[in-house]
Chain A
Amino acid sequence: MKFRLLTLTTLTAAGIAGSAFAADTVKLGYQLPLTGDTAQYGQDFRKAAEIALTEFNAAGKPFKVEIVFEDSRSDAKEGTNIARKFVDDKEIVGVLGDFTSGVSMAAAQVYKDAGMPQLSQTASHPDYTKISKYQFRNIATQAQEGPYNAKWMAAKGFKNVAVIAEQTDWGQSVVSGFSDAVKANGGTVAFSEFFNRGLKDYRSLISKLERAKPDAIYTGFFYEDGAQFLKQLQQLGIKTPVYSTSAAYSPKLIELAGGAAEGVHLTSNFLPTDPSPNVQHFVDEWKKRSDGAVPGQFPAQAYDAVRIMLAAVEKASPNPTREKVRDALAQTRDFPGVTGKTSFSADREAEKELVKVEVKGGAFVPVAD
């Protein structure tokens, strides 16, 4: 698999290098974890980026785009090294990534000084876009998702809720974004706690949580932790409804948790079952490259992030510069992506439309309320 991907990239790279004299080539950088603990996400992002790039280059534009992928291993040291490397390459006019907020923010310190536009598909740290005018993200922040979910749960009549989230910058923003909104709506947060990523045993957390007798549980986790949590919740026979964020929206959640995922409510802005042609095109391309697997939320965000960046490069051409690409990115309005329409606000946050989803019969099904 990796062999094939590598040869593929090398071949595309070689092909582009060969035709570089024929047509103009614009370079973009993509820093992402291709190895290490979070490699599964980085590999997905590369796949999504390659789909977007192949389409763009096949569309007969006056110039071709090349993406340089660099492996950061979700390590701040490597992330800043890559950032310096990208900045040094005068041909690179824009950068995508990194995966985690920590690495994205360490790299952002370099991009800030160099004036390089940076668009992360996943960095959700509240301060990330505040670093400088060059940081953009293509992910709904918890400041947006939290109140949306709080309203949804309040409408369902859940007044007294428990919140748990992973102990990361993102988890922190899940709890604060949601809890503030619950209190503003007149509800109460009966229990709130963080757990460390990769926790194997949630039973003590669950029993503590149940002692608070919440009407519903709001959770901030990714699919690996989510599946463990849901399975153990089922084992303990607890029927309290579970709500979650778009980060848990991955077919792997259902695959790993099985029946325990039934009835989980979450938000998303990407539905692989959406009949609109661009979504179906992406899902088909993804299936072709992943042995029939369906893409989740994150690859869809990466796919859109790359396309938003490509659109900005096109807008900034001819002769795109880093500054022109940044300005073009900032002007992105109602970009029709697979994760709905995306606009960047004045503070470079992606404004996303959210969809309500429930797990029913082993699949994510959109629900009206």
Chain B
Amino acid sequence: MNAFETAAPADGLTRRRGLLVPALILLLVFAALPTLLAGFDRGYFYQIANLALIFVLLSASMHLVTGVAGLLHLGHAAFYGVGAYTAALLTSKLGLGFTVTLPLSGLVAALVAFLVALPTMRLVSIYFAVATLAIGQMLYLVMLNWVDFTKGPNGIIVSKGFELFGFSLSGRLAAYYTVATVVTLSVIAIGRLSHSYYGNALRSIREDDQCADAMGVSTVRLKMEAFTLSAFFAGVAGGLWAHMTGYISPGDFKFSESILILAMVVVGGLGSLPGAVIGALLLILLPEGLRGLGDFRNIMVGLVMFLSILLLPKGLLGEVSALRLVRQQLGAAWRTAGPANGKGEGIGWR
């Protein structure tokens, strides 16, 4: 009893300190920022805020696969697209509202991810990256070419905005709060997943998958779970985007979007959730902020990315160096099957 009492103040202090930062962030997202936005009352700022939040969610969801589990994922935007198309098709064909379409966007994206993961999750390193690239392209081409179902390049008009059980949330502030709530809850969930035993098991795959395997970690199953979970959150982001813009077409989910999300995770720092969030904010806000520079803004954005990789190889807040991870991933392609690892090691299959 005594021991507990003496220990309590120290514990309480660290706990309070640990809660301070999240509390400040929540205050910023749900009180300070909306006050500012309402003060300026400019649709442009609301738009940027919502867009940045959606990409925070995309970046955070990719963080789970690429940052924590260390798997180079090159097709994330496709699951974002599957989510958006689910929401758009449910709205345009069945007349369903946001309350129903949002969870379904996530679930359908997760289901698709699970199905495509079944044959591919045994792949390692560069082969995994190539497989995700192929998955991304495949899903993109389905959206583009399955004209009867997805309307192909014609895209879909999503006639319904945000709502909750029939109450419209389409006003500027209400829409912001909707996006902010969904994104915050999702990011908290991703944070809980990555800062837990579960997250550490995923990290063990990143650090040394063979060692993890030998220690009894089921790497294939974990990879599958991480991939599916990350697709779920990407799908939710897609649902938000579909209802926010009111019109989607396959071009919104092409390969370059996957690369943009990957860049967010890398610039922010691989393995760090705050890093992924900051990376997303940076790469959405910077190009908008630099609009005044005209044609040079993209060069400036490229320069910032280049310098951040050059000077901060771990990104802003990362756990691992992006270069190290790439070297580790790509190295496997050139590893020869010598006598020491003659049992198929190096062929990218386990």
Contacts and interface: CB of A to CB of B under 8 A. Distances in A.
Interface of A: 2, 6, 9, 34-36, 69-71, 73-78, 80-81, 84-85, 87-88, 100, 102, 105-106, 108-110, 114, 125-127, 131, 167-172, 194, 196
Given A81-B48, A87-B44, A109-B246, 4 more contacts: A35-B298, A84-B42, A102-B251, A125-B155
A36 B294 CA distance: 13
Contacts of B46: 84
B249 interface: yes
Interface stretch (B104-112, B122-130, B144-152, B192-200): B144-152
Contacts of B145: 167, 194
16 contacts: A34-B294, A80-B47, A80-B245, A81-B44, A81-B47, A81-B51, A81-B288, A84-B42, A84-B43, A87-B43, A88-B42, A102-B155, A102-B249, A109-B246, A168-B153, A171-B153
Contact of A105 (B42, B144, B157, B295): B157
Contacts, number: 95
A311 B284 CA distance: 37
A108 B247 contact: yes
A228 B225 CA distance: 45
Contact of A76 (B48, B252, B295): B252
B134 to A, nearest CB: 16
Given A102-B249, A109-B245, A109-B246, A84 B153 contact: no
Nearest to B40: A88
Given A35-B298, A109-B247, A169 B154 contact: yes
B42 A125 contact: no
A106 B297 contact: no
Interface string B233-270: 00000000000011111011000000000000000000
A223 to B, nearest CB: 19
A50 to B, nearest CB: 14
Contacts of A76: 245, 247-249, 251-252
Contacts of B155: 102, 105, 125, 169
B44 A88 contact: yes
A76 B245 CA distance: 9
Contact of B144 (A70, A85, A127, A167): A167
Interface in B267-315: 287-288, 291, 294-295, 297-298
A84 B298 contact: no
A100 B153 CA distance: 11
A34 B44 contact: no
A77 B43 contact: no
Given A102-B155, A106-B245, A167-B144, A84 B47 contact: yes
A127 B157 contact: yes
A127 B295 contact: no
B157 A77 contact: no
A70 B154 CA distance: 24
The 5 closest A-B pairs by CB, nearest first: A109-B246, A84-B44, A84-B47, A102-B249, A84-B43
Nearest to A108: B247
Interface-centre pick from A77, A105, A125, A167 (highest chain B CB count, 10 A): A77
Contacts of B144: 167, 196
B153 A172 contact: yes
Nearest to A114: B43
A172 B295 contact: no
A109 B247 CA distance: 7
Contact of A172 (B147, B247, B288, B298): B147
Contact of B43 (A74, A75, A110, A196): A110
Nearest to A70: B291
Nearest to A81: B47
B157 A71 contact: no
Contacts of B42: 84, 88
A69 B293 CA distance: 12
